[in-house]
A and B are shown apart, each in its own frame.
Chain A
Amino acid sequence: MKTRLPEHGPLETPRFWRTLEERIETPEAQRAAHDEFLPGTIPAGPDYDDVHGLPPQSGVSRRDFLGLVSAAAALAATVACDRKGQGTVVPYTKRPVEVIPGVANYYASATHEGRRVYPVLVKTREGRPIHLTGNDEHPGVKGKTSPRVMADVLRLYDPDRLRAPKAQGHVASWADAEAQFHGALRGAKAAGKPVLLISGAVVSPSRKALLADLKTALPTLEHLAYEPAAGDAAEVAALASFGQAVDLQPRLDKAKVILSLGADFLNGEDPEAQAAWGAKRRLKNAQEAINRLWVLEGPLTLTGTNADQRVPVSPSRLGAVAFALAKELAAKGVALPTGTDLSGMSAGAPADIPAAVWSSLVKDLRAAGRNAVVLCGAQMPAEAHQAAHLLNAMLGSEAVALRAAEPLATVKDLEAAAQKMASGAYAAVLFWDVNPAYTYPKAAAWKEAVTKVPFRAWIGQVEDETSAQCQLLLPENHWLESWGDYATPGAAVLQQPAIGALYDTRQGEDILLGVLKAMGATVPDGYHAYLQARWKKELPFGTSFEQALHDGLVKGETKTSAPVFKGASVAAAAKKAVAAKADGLELVLFPGFATHDGRHANNSWLQETPDPITKMTWDNPVAVSVQDAKALGLEEGDWVTLALDGATLKLPAVIQPGQAPGVLALALGYGRTTGGVAKGMGVNAFPLVGLDPASAHARGGAKLAKAGGRKELSRTQSHHRMEGRDLVRSLTMDEFAHNPQGHHHMPELVTLYEDQKFPDHKWGMVIDLAACTGCSACMVACQSENNVATVGPEQVARGREMHWIRIDRYYEGELENPKVVHQPMLCQHCDNAPCENVCPVNATNHSPEGLNQMAYNRCVGTRYCANNCPYKVRRFNFLEYTAYKTEPETLAYNPEVTVRPRGVMEKCSFCVQRINDVKIRAKGDGRAILDGEITTACMAGCPSDAIVFGDLKDPKSKVSQLVAASRAYRVLEELGVKPAITYLADLKNPAMPMASTEGGHHEA
């Protein structure tokens, strides 16, 4: 600009000027300044509009132009917003007082599986239950629950649920259905003909009372409580040993020495046992007391993988071994209960167990005395259970609590019922939450017998094999829509609905109350009132029903006399145990980890959660021992035929290291013929269950033959050795005391980059491998919290499962009885994350709080990040796994977590939504975040408290202290990626030098 500034003084010049031209006061600039906010963009000519004194309008003014542009943009945006699958958002016209959109509500409730009660906390969002954890008020479960219970929230939204009553195959109204139902029952009562009710285990006092009332009103009622996977042998043995049915709860907090006879108490089912186990294993130093777990078992169980000393023993020999142990202990001076006769036993170590192990075991049990406990697996033969009861009685074990329980029907009772049905004795049969047409071993005979009953009614949620035979189908509420109560040790537990019934369904108890009413009894209006009336009578003084409902429980021990062991029962059992001999292969039928007895088979979360041992999903292959596989020339996935007692199954085989030779293991609960998810997955193993309850689930005489061909296994892990890499560190107590870091010397890692700065927080996690049992509860918790998609068996077989957290399981040492280690593996949130720098579009990056975060919207799916992730924890949506989902399935989604579409990478976020939730609340309260206030879903779900999450910037936080522990190490630390997850080495407490003490990490 060469124009000189004008000479005249500041008075004539505007004090503030916008452009140099204006300051210089060229005529153009003055005009422009004058016109700036006028409509015209056209340079003003000399002729002004006379009326307004404005320049004449021609063309489009700037204002109009901008208006048009914004209108066009708004219009375009409106049109573009009409995206597929986006529904109308309607606000509450009358907002329920407790619902604040965007804020979760928690309700205490409870459920049960068999005899085990699970008090839970239900997280609801805008009225929808979306996540389950244990009730932290309960003295037993202490905020923990089982993987199957956590996944049960999905069953609420099962699209296969029956939504209205059905009569003779057609949808009917409740009035019509009830008229038919009540008419049939009244007819039976009038004719004096028996009515059969088959239900699941009765653990609810109010349900028990209701059934008693029903029996009074309908005297011809016969009731069977049927739990096909509970283990009939345990039932038989309890009757023999105690003269009554018992409920047995291990109290591992009091146990120094645990002997398991095929008992699988660390598989996630029993949160109480697992919490106690974790507490005994999370050691700060080698001086702290640790327990010791001895496991004698045929198949490899999750508990077996956690053993300090494990000996493979076939199930048929367990009884003899345990009785020999009793004899040996008696010989060493441990008193036998009165009336016990073990003279039939020969003294000394049984051939199944090496002499050194035997003497060490005897010494250990004797030394521990009252702090020793013997636990027997539900599927093991009755003699083994009886021997375990004897041993506990001898030792006076404090580490097991026995309570009287309602008896369960065994296969024998079912067989009798079937005969009675076939004879035409029953006027009506009612199936309530049971599926004998699928679970009864001789299904064909059962179905034939059922047709002989003139009136057949069914109460349940999803039509199944049994409902197919019934005239009347009465749809039942999910337990999250129902009322109920339970008696547990330490507290009386209440169950309340967390959501109104989604469909035209009723609670089973309400249906029975209707029957009571129809029979002329005076009953409260609905089960809620029935329950309330009972509770108000029994509530302790000063406790309101509302308070009990809020807490979900009322604490207090109900006094029951402990069942007394009958010594006289021993002689016969010992004789039977010594004589027991399996011809052919022994088959153990155990409840499926995912499906249990088949009731969870329609749950895709569970179906896709890998079995913790075989890592199989969606299928139940028969597990064959290494020795037998070699003899038969079997390889993984080979089709085999399994024949027993006239029943033959064709199924794939997997080779199971650690399984006793001559033993086969097969999961129950697969091979359903109904259900959109369950149908056709695996084979139904119930036809192989025996009709002798004493050995219904552990049977001899099985025959296995190659059938030709191979199945591609839908397995999440196909390589089982650690290849000598330092991935899972495992220490014996001796190593822990003297050299916890082993021979690992980490050289100082140098980087050219500046270290990441974390101004406020640095989130980190510690996982204690000594406490982790591999139960996979964390996987289900994560799936529910983070809307992790399921992909189905074909995709799993290709390696495309989506779990954000997985459990790596490795075998070490000899295949016949390997050491097994588990390692939860999830995104390590590395400070120098290799995934971050390779993403071309910055879709994955680091937060200032140390989170490795994913921007799903930005991800184009090059998959480079996943290639470069040394931990292989990134999951790619290879196909569209979510968009096809509709209500009700989508109702199970956590609204705080984006549902990922096809073509996008995803991974663990350290539950960033939970972190932010706590941060926002803390900020609102004007306080700092407390240590332990943020829990990730996996941490909250872990029943043994192996996972700790927190702020590494806070030196006093639990996680910071654990990071400095002597067992601490980081996986693949040598890569310099600086993971935010620290692992604490696994601990083993062997009684004697282990056969393979070298351990994986310094294996050549």
Chain B
Amino acid sequence: MKLDAATSAGDIPEALIEPALTVGVVTPGSLDDQVLAFPEMKPPKQWYLGLAVTLTALLIGVGCIGYVFVTGIGAWGNTSPVFWAFDIINFVFWVGIGHAGTLISAILFLFRKRWRNAIARFAEAMTIFAVICAVIFPLIHVGRPWLAYWLFPYPNQRALWTNFRSPLLWDVFAVNTYFSVSLMFWYLGLIPDIASMRDRTTSKIRKVLYTVLAMGWRGAASHWQHYEKAYLLLAGLATGLVLSVHSVVSFDFATSVVPGWHMTIFPPYFVAGAIFAGFAMVVMVLVVVRETMQLKNLITMRHLDVMNKVILAMSCIMGYSYMMEGFTAWYSMNEYLHHGFMNIISGTYGWAGWVTISCNILIPQILWFKKARASYFWMILVAIGVTIGMWFERFVIIVISLHQDYLPSAWRIYKPTMIDFGVLLGTFGIFFTLVLLFARVLPVIATTEVKAILPGAQPSHHGDDHHA
């Protein structure tokens, strides 16, 4: 396929012409063969190896959670005054990871960023898995987990009601909404692909399974019409959630009186941080996926380049936020806030503060260079750095702020226990186990959406005269 030089040169400047979103020759047929074949194939040895590792981590986590159930929160390092520690750090961390998926699938969809089509499916799946990891924590971190359902406002004969002034209750709603909308959005997108797989598969079990999951999709024009409308609506709904969920999570902190928590900058700062961490995780996973699953032609270096740019932009926003924290501490003349900020850069946990700053602000600056954005080494380094950095950012916010607040008599050093690390490891186990299973069972790329961006799939004004 060739552009008519005379026409295009006159209409669109060279720089604005969107380059092709796939590499090489990709036809709808070859795409189906490439993507939908995975669930049919016997997984390679490496897959089993990976699953063994992640399952081990998962089981360690389950064991640790069971231990906490039996003995109590005291099995963790949480203490007075650090009443929240790994539990809430992990919760905020995982909710944050989820944000990239929704951003890619919903916001970029609404902005008609067509490059997102190839990676949206995987990113969305990661959202679901990350939120699953996150919701574990509100359930297990309470002192009496068997009563955690009391956080839901359900009618009961004791006439007890929840406290709608509590940000924790807002969390319950925000996270639940987020999870349900994300799940619906993801599933809706899967339907046409599942239908394709239903039609392709020869295995009887799969046939039944996919038939049920495809919900009778036949690819009729009316189906497509409803599908597109529903997809657009859910994208609109999810867009609001990208901003709201982490804002609400940040209210847990921002509406409190704890110095270092009580700041108006928190909602945007948390949302930016979440997108930042989420993109880093997506980059990490996609590099592995495109290499091991031979998807280089669909998940191109251009995707990675664009995502690295987003990471860089978010890193700058984070840098600004950190500086504003310092500025607020200084400008407010609030001695407690000032002390809290000094703790981040020079206290007992000052190292954690510097880990955060280095990983989130300093290292990602390498992405200003085009070469770094094209280099696996640098992008993986940055992505791992950001993941660590963002975990530590929550450590800084939660543990450093809590361990020294108002009355020095109550100050105390917090030390995590092995159980704390076990639970953290367990969530990584859950996340990657789900990722591995997903990669083998469902189409990792939304073939219908990629078909829509294949050259010639969309009507365009010069496309018209070309095909005329």
Contact = CB atoms under 8 A, between A and B. Distances in A.
Given A872-B81, A977-B257, A840 B406 contact: no
Nearest to A726: B335
Contact of A800 (B74, B150, B405): B74
Contacts of A867: 81, 83-84, 256, 258, 402
Give the most central of B161, B168, B407, B412: most A CB within 10 Å.
B407
Contacts of A864: 83-84, 166, 168, 252, 256
Nearest to B339: A723
Given A867-B402, A870-B405, A872-B410, A879 B72 contact: yes
Contact of B256 (A806, A868, A971, A972): A868
Given A863-B83, A877-B143, A977-B257, A718 B166 contact: no
B335 A860 contact: no
Contacts of B409: 717, 719, 806, 808-810, 823, 825
B80 interface: yes
B176 interface: no
Contact of A842 (B161, B336, B405): B161
Q: Which A-B residue pairs are the 5 nearest by beta carbons? A: A861-B143, A903-B143, A878-B74, A808-B409, A872-B410
Nearest to A615: B409
Main secondary structure of the interface of A (DSSP, over half): loop
B143 A868 contact: no
B80 A837 contact: no
A862 B257 contact: no
B413 interface: yes
B141 interface: yes
Interface residues of A, number: 55
Contacts of B79: 798-800, 878
Interface residues of B, number: 51
B233 interface: no
Given A724-B335, A870-B407, A859 B161 contact: no
A904 B408 contact: no
Interface string A702-746: 000000000000000111111111010000000000000000000
Contacts of A724: 335
Contacts of A840: 151, 162-163, 166, 168-169, 172
A905 B72 CA distance: 13
Given A718-B411, A902-B72, A860 B160 contact: no
B150 A858 contact: yes
Interface in A804-845: 806, 808-810, 823, 825, 834, 837-842
Given A723-B339, A834-B257, A902-B144, 16 more contacts: A717-B410, A722-B408, A823-B409, A837-B163, A840-B162, A860-B142, A862-B143, A866-B83, A868-B258, A872-B406, A877-B143, A878-B73, A879-B73, A903-B72, A905-B143, A971-B407
Most buried by B among A721, A839, A971: A839
A809 B409 CA distance: 7
B148 interface: yes
A872 B143 contact: no
Contacts of B78: 863, 878
A875 interface: yes
B319 interface: no
B407 A825 contact: yes
Contact of B413 (A718, A839, A863, A902): A718
A795 interface: yes
Contacts of B150: 841, 858, 860
B257 A878 contact: no
A902 B408 contact: no
A975 interface: yes
B147 interface: yes
Contacts of A876: 73, 80, 83, 143
Contacts of B226: none
Contact of A862 (B81, B142, B336, B407): B142
A727 B79 CA distance: 23
Interface string B410-434: 1111010000000000000000000
Given A799-B412, A868-B256, A904-B143, A875 B80 contact: yes
B411 A838 contact: no
B203 interface: no
Contact of A870 (B144, B252, B257): B257
20 contacts: A720-B408, A724-B335, A727-B408, A798-B77, A800-B74, A825-B407, A825-B409, A838-B168, A839-B163, A841-B151, A860-B147, A863-B78, A864-B84, A866-B80, A866-B83, A868-B258, A871-B407, A876-B80, A903-B72, A903-B145
B257 A975 contact: yes
Contact of B163 (A795, A841, A859, A861): A841
A861 B335 contact: no
B162 A842 contact: yes
